[in-house]
Chains A and B, each alone.
Chain A
């Protein structure tokens, strides 16, 4: 039911993260080879590498695009304890002809004392804000007050989560009914420390982020976390990659808007899947939050979907066919999917 195509990414080492831009026409990859590459989708649906450059002095863990309202902006974070903001410069005409573009470093955020494990932009309605989390458990929220000047960022909030952080996720809801909310996951493997997912909420009265909820039932290391797109619902849905895939529903309990205390939530488990039968490393929602994808130690990507009765089921599995990488870098091999699970290979 799926068709696959391959692109030779040409990184010299492990790829840690890929990120599509907002419109799905550009892609950024980052790697242990300390570099990043940007790819553009051509008119014929071919991907061309339009930039490749060394970015950090350590493995680059994550890369993420800012919303196109802010221009062509990327952020990366690395083992070298920094997070960097990059902006694309409109190149000279001969560069454009060669299909190359340049990215320049706008700012380096050096506040972290340990490896920076995740970097994410906040939802655009909050302005141009960047968030990082580090292995020493600190979550930092930066803001660029002048969106035309990306070299000026101020550290607005520092949240000490006390546990080594591995991932963060902003609640994408722009509804006025919800205060800005960020979930932080910890990969601390000591189960006695309890809740490895913490949820912080911004309070208008105190002008600070305060912890609203800790998911105490998540006791194992958390590797990835993702809020689902909101769809106008009154509650929030959060997916977690830990020793299994878990989907939580957070229902805000009514509170006085002039209160300086964070919102209280009723926490329910919508689904829990251990089909990977191993550690789950990534979870991510599609645009309409109708599909959740997860990836695990079993080398598979699984797709999860709720039917109209809100029952969650696995609707697809992707895994490698175990064949070695073909000798030709950049060669494309087309595969036809059919109604059955068998794949018939066809060379173009």
Chain B
């Protein structure tokens, strides 16, 4: 398979390259930073940001992306086990959905036209896209057989040459239609599109005027009325239709030979058209305006039972005849020709090159792949092609601040590389707000992307910590399951507590639940807060038990034991005995353990004094409590 070598396009960057130096660069999200420098020595103070000129920014096009995303997702969900006949009609309707979305977008852009020159450019691109898509639908998805094929092609042409209706209306609504300067143009245009009934209607305006020529008009009316149109749902077979059509064709020819319409050159022209005279058809270039209109009209009047495989011959010759020797085909013409030749791959390739955005080729190829068309054309890399294009499109979406969410679904439906592309790109979504971060997280969590989840939570935790929002930092660390960071933040909480005497973020600390177990320090923090809460609620015995367990279960770090023992003081000095004998013994042993440890040499004399005073106070309180507890436990309640 030959690769068409297309020259890469060159983009000039303004105010750069003045000193003919080097261009340095760096990749960014969806753009490239370019700066002048000189790797050998000597630059300009300017940095240039270069971005692919993609159509993501227009708000109207964004609607196109949003709505086509819904259709795409719906398409992926179509089950494999539906019988193929039903599937075909589903695919056709999906194709029509896509096209209606394109049309809606086009109409909206047209309404806004004039406000932005960019929009008119987009309108013409969308027109071309819809034209190509429609033809692909007719030829590849709907796969009409001979007979119906021509009817569908006629519809296609009529849809894309809408000015005929406007002109017809203008003529019919004028005071004397038959005298209107466009009158005959309208009649001929209608005939060229095979709209015989409407042509007759317009012709009747003429006929009523001149009595003497009425017989001529009656003959033409007769020809137009008897033109056979294939009815696919009818009982008539294709062969029967063909016979009937041949008879009619001969009748038209006979009229020509007998010079029936010699008195009126317009009617003569129309008769020649009906006979399918190529030269006459070519004379109508202006009314036909495109070679593919010429093609379809030509087929209508010479081979209405054209079979799909024979189409390409007529297409090529029609294009050559219409364009003539000097004009060269435009990219659009080449694409349509490739479609008529049923060369899907060429259509996709040429569209990829011609268009600025992957939207069209990605969605069309995806649909064609679902119709199993890429395989049937012996493209063994068919599904690779589909995935390649969808990945390209989705990657482009990812750089947009809100459209990136659509891209996720596209990646989900790329079995080979979708996941890894998503992993790489979702990490880079800027986490501007907590809400956005949570959105990103949910996407990762749904897909079990645990490393990305951890990373995002860690980034948010670190950011919160930098801004001294301890509660936020803690909840992010818990979500990241980052024990080390949770420990660090818990330490900060405790530091804050010893500096200020109260806890911040009580809501969070009170509702840690099983997350508390993430790190020892965190567990301590949670339990310590619980102790304070119990104390505040005057549930002293529970508080006492908790406090003791913090030390004996070694949950509390040694450095904080003094604080905890000091917290025990008010409990010891209550009128009522709270700590039991056993508990008091335990507290005493904790105190002794603390004091038997190596003295902290950093303490000043003043600090040492305070420490020893505290110890004395505690010893005293503990001893008193012990006394009362022994008495209490020894007393028999009567």
- 20 A-B pairs within 8 Å (CB atoms) are namely A1-B11, A2-B11, A4-B11, A6-B15, A12-B45, A18-B24, A25-B430, A69-B458, A71-B462, A223-B39, A231-B417, A232-B417, A281-B39, A288-B424, A295-B22, A297-B22, A316-B11, A321-B14, A337-B53, A341-B11
**Residue B35 lies at the interface, judged by CB distance under 8 Å to chain A:** yes
The answer to whether B26 touches A2 (Cβ under 8 A) is no
Docked pose: A135 CA to B35 CA in angstroms: 25
> What residues of chain A have their CB less than 8 Å away from a CB belonging to chain B?
1-20, 22-25, 27, 29, 47, 68-72, 90, 124, 148, 174, 223, 229, 231-232, 279, 281-282, 284-288, 290, 293, 295-297, 299-303, 307-309, 311, 313-326, 329, 333, 335-341, 343, 345
Contact A287–B424 (Cβ < 8 Å): yes
Task: Tell me which residues across on chain B come within 8 A of A12, comparing CB atoms.
Answer: 45
Q: Does B327 have its Cβ within 8 Å of any Cβ on chain A?
A: no
CA A12 – CA B26 in complex, angstroms? 20
Q: With A and B bound together, what is the CA distance between A72 and B430 in angstroms?
A: 14
Given contacts A9-B46, A15-B24, contact A322 B11 (CB under 8 A): no
Question: Is B500 an interface position by the 8 A CB rule?
Answer: no
Complex CA distance for A196 and B138, rounded to whole angstroms: 58
Contacts of A301 in B (CB 8 A): 23, 25, 32, 34
Q: Given A6-B15, A9-B35, A308-B385 in contact, is the A339-B356 Cβ separation under 8 Å?
A: yes
With A90-B466, A295-B22 as known contacts, state yes or no: A1 contacts B356, CB within 8 Å. yes
Q: A281's closest neighbor in chain B, by CB?
A: B39
**B42 within 8 A of partner (CB):** yes
- A6-B14 in contact given A24-B430, A68-B462, A340-B9 (Cβ < 8 Å): yes
A340-B9, A341-B11 are known contacts. Are A23 and B385 too (CB-CB below 8 A)?
A: no
**Closest chain A residue to B384, Cβ basis:** A308
Given contacts A2-B52, A6-B47, A25-B430, contact A18 B35 (CB under 8 A): yes
Q: Which of A6, A282, A321 contacts B17 (CB 8 A)?
A: A321
**When the two chains form their complex, are residues A345 and B34 in contact, meaning their CB atoms are under 8 A apart?**
no
How many B residues touch the partner, as a band? 35 or more
Q: CB within 8 A of B43: which of A15, A313, A314?
A: A15
Known: A23-B431, A69-B458, A308-B385. A287 touches B14 (CB 8 A): no
Bound together, the chains give a CA A12 to CA B45 distance in angstroms of 7
Residues of B within 8 A of A295 (CB): 22-25
- A333-B14 contact, Cβ under 8 Å, with A232-B420, A293-B32, A296-B22: yes
When distances are taken between beta carbons in the complex, the residues of chain B under 8 Å from A8 are 45-47
Taking the complex as formed, is B584 at the interface, i.e. its CB lies under 8 A from any CB of chain A?
no
Could you tell me if A23 and B49 are in contact, using CB atoms closer than 8 angstroms?
no
B53 with A1: CB separation less than 8 A: yes
Contact status B38-A14, CB under 8 Å: yes
Residue of B nearest to A314 (CB): B8
Q: How far does the alpha carbon of A295 sit from the alpha carbon of B39 in the complex, in Å?
A: 10
A241 shortest CB reach to chain B, Å: 9
Interface contact B27-A287, CB-CB below 8 Å: yes
Decide: B385 and A18 in contact? CB cutoff 8 A.
no
B27 near A20 with CB under 8 A, answer: yes
User: Which residue of chain B lies nearest to A22 when distances are taken between CB atoms in the complex?
Assistant: B428
Contacts of A336 in B (CB 8 A): 53, 118
Tell me, in angstroms, the Cα distance from A10 to B43 when the chains sit together. Answer: 11
Known contacts A11-B45, A287-B428: A333-B15 contact under CB 8 Å: yes
B631 within 8 A of A: no
**In the docked arrangement, what's the CA distance between A343 and B14, Å?**
10
Given contacts A4-B48, A6-B46, A281-B22, contact A343 B37 (CB under 8 A): no
A325 and B45 contact, Cβ closer than 8 Å, known pairs A90-B467, A295-B24: yes
Residue with the greatest number of chain A CB neighbours at <10 A, chosen from B25, B52, B118? B25
- Of A15, A318, A329, which is within 8 A of B32 by CB? A318
Within the complex, the shortest CB–CB distance from A186 to chain B, in Å, comes to: 15
Smallest CB separation, B29 vs chain A (Å): 4
Q: Is the pair A309, B37 in contact by a Cβ cutoff of 8 Å? A: no
Q: How far is the CA of A4 from the CA of B34 in the complex (A)?
A: 9
Asked if B13 CB lies within 8 Å of chain A CBs, one says: yes
Q: Which of B14, B20, B32, B33 contacts A323 (CB 8 A)?
A: B14
A182 to B400 alpha-carbon distance, docked (Å): 33
Q: How far is the CB of B186 from chain A (nearest CB, A)?
A: 35
Bound CA span A303–B44, Å: 22
User: 8 shortest A-B CB distances, which residue pairs?
Assistant: A320-B17, A320-B16, A24-B29, A337-B53, A14-B43, A308-B388, A281-B39, A321-B12
